[in-house]
Each structure stands twice: as structure tokens, then as C-alpha cells.
Amino acid sequence: MYSNNYISINGYSINCNLLPKTIKTLEDIINYNDLKFNNYYIINNGKIINKQTTINNLLISNNHKNIIYIDIHERQQGGGFGDLIDGIVSIGKFFLMIYKVMKWLGLFLYWYLHFVFWLLTDFLKPNNFIKEFGDTMLIILISICRIPFDVLLGLFGLSVNIVGGWMQGFWGWDQSSLTQTDRESNYFKKMNKMGSKKCYLTNTNTIPFSIIIGTILCPPIGVFMDLGITGWLNILICILLTLLLYVPGLVYALLIIYSA
């Protein structure tokens, strides 16, 4: 009746020659083969066809091909009350996201307009800009002009300090800056009894480290740094002792430095 034609329903092949004569439509084939489909629709060659389509019409529309492929799809059933609630919640979340985006865009637009307003009315205001630019250039110009004078004043001050300190130390330590408490201390009283003065001393009445280094390098220099030219006799003795293999002169210089 149908030659060697086959109908493939979702991959399940049916030989049309083996069907009873009472089977004429696609719905009859589905019911005869006990295929479990409820509320379905049928697709053939990419088109939806009626389930009452006869086999002959199906063969004609497919140019009497040996195998006719049809796909059966069940229709999706609508959800219940729970699905309705889920749908409403999803829609609510979507509108909430839209609200947050619009709020962020509004805040950004407000900040941007505020920034542009500040930029035009304050930062780029001609009067303020010209005044600040002029003040800045004036400060830079003054700083550049002061550099040579600052350098000369610094060198002059350094030379005065070097020469003045050397002159004071050459003849003995200048005690003009000492307080009455310093002059009445036992340390200076002992020095006065010895008839000598210290050239260099720290604020805590201790020997500076520079004198110790000078004494180690050359003991007579340490004695000179400690007593000045007024201690010429001690310097001469230290020179003579240093010529005797250095050690006697070093010992003598240390005794002079720490003698008071």
C-alpha cells in the first residue's frame, strides 16, 4: 500500500506497510504505537503540521521519500500559583536593579555637574587663576634670586665660625659663655688651681670625641686641642715623649686630657 515507506517519530521508525488499513492519520499512528504524548504538536521539514494529516498527504508533501522524519514536541504547561509568585519576584528584582542603576546614574550626574560647576566658577576663575599664578611665579623668582646670597652668607658664616673658633682655641678656651654654676663647679675649680684652661669641652663637661681621635693620631695635637697655646710646656713635653716610640707621648697626652 505504502511501498517501503517509513515514518521516523523522534528517532522511532515505523514501517507504513505493517500498519492496519484503519490507520490513516498521524494521530492514529501515535495512538496505535502507544506513544505517550500529551498536548503535543508535530513538526515536519521545519513546519508544524496537523496531527490529522493523513499518511498519503504526508508522503505527497515529502515527494514520496522512503523515510519521513517528524518530531513531536509536548507543549509546556503553565505553572501554578508558586510559579506566578516566582515570576512576580523575578520581575520585582528586575525593576529593583533598574532602580539601582538609575539611582547610580543620577548620583554620578549630580557629582559630575557639581564638579564642572566648581571647575568653571572656582578653579578656572580668571581672577583667582591669575592671582595664584602670579604669586607662584613671584615666589619662584625670589627663591632663585636668593640662592647666590644664601650661599655667600653661608660661606661667610662658616668662615667666621672656623676662624673665630680657632682663634679662641689657640689661646685657650673662651669661658665667656659659662654660667655662674659652671664657674663654681669642682671641675673648673680644680682647673684653676692647675693654672690651665680647657679649649674644647662638651656641654656635659666631658672630653669631646674629636680630641680623643686627635690624641690617638698625634698626642701633641690632643694636648694642644685640650689646653691651647697656653699649655706650651705640656705640648713640648708630649712632643719629646712621642718621639720616644709614640707610646709614652700617648700616655702623657691622655693623662693631661683626663687630669681635671
The tens digit of pLDDT for each residue in 44-75 reads 888 888 888 888 887 788 777 778 888 887 77
Q: Model pTM?
A: 0.29
Euclidean distance between CA atoms 147 and 150, whole angstroms = 5
Residue 175 lies in a domain: no
Q: Would you say residue 171 has pLDDT above 60?
A: no
What mean pLDDT value characterizes the chain?
Answer: 76
Q: Which of these three, 35, 59, 74, is where a domain ends? A: 74
Of 58, 74, 90, the residue that ends a domain is 74
Mean pLDDT of 14-31: 80
Question: If you average pLDDT over residues 217-229, what whole number do you get?
Answer: 85
Residue 99's pLDDT band, with cuts at 50, 70 and 90, is very high
Q: Whole domain around residue 63: which residue ranges?
A: 6-74
Number of domains in the chain: 4
Contact between residue 173 and residue 183 where contact means Cβ atoms under 8 Å apart = no
What percentage of the chain reaches a pLDDT higher than 90? 13
Tell whether 59 is covered by a domain: yes
The stretches of the chain forming alpha helices (DSSP H) are 26-32, 55-61, 81-118, 126-171, 180-183, 186-194, 209-217, 219-227, 232-243, 247-257
pLDDT for the residue numbered 8 = 81
Does 36 reside within a domain?
A: yes
Identify whether 49 is part of a domain. Answer: yes
At residue 187, the pLDDT reads 62
Residue 188 makes CB contacts below 8 A (sequence gap 6+) with 178, 182
Q: Verify that 186 and 250 share a domain, yes or no.
A: yes
Q: Per the domain annotation, does 54 fall within a domain?
A: yes
Residue 185: DSSP 8-state:
S
Determine the pLDDT at residue 192: 45
Mean pLDDT calculated for residue range 101-116: 91
Is 29 in the same domain as 51?
A: yes
174 part of a folded domain: no
Contact 7, 68 (CB under 8 A): yes
Within this chain, do residues 55 and 97 fall inside the same structural domain, yes or no?
no
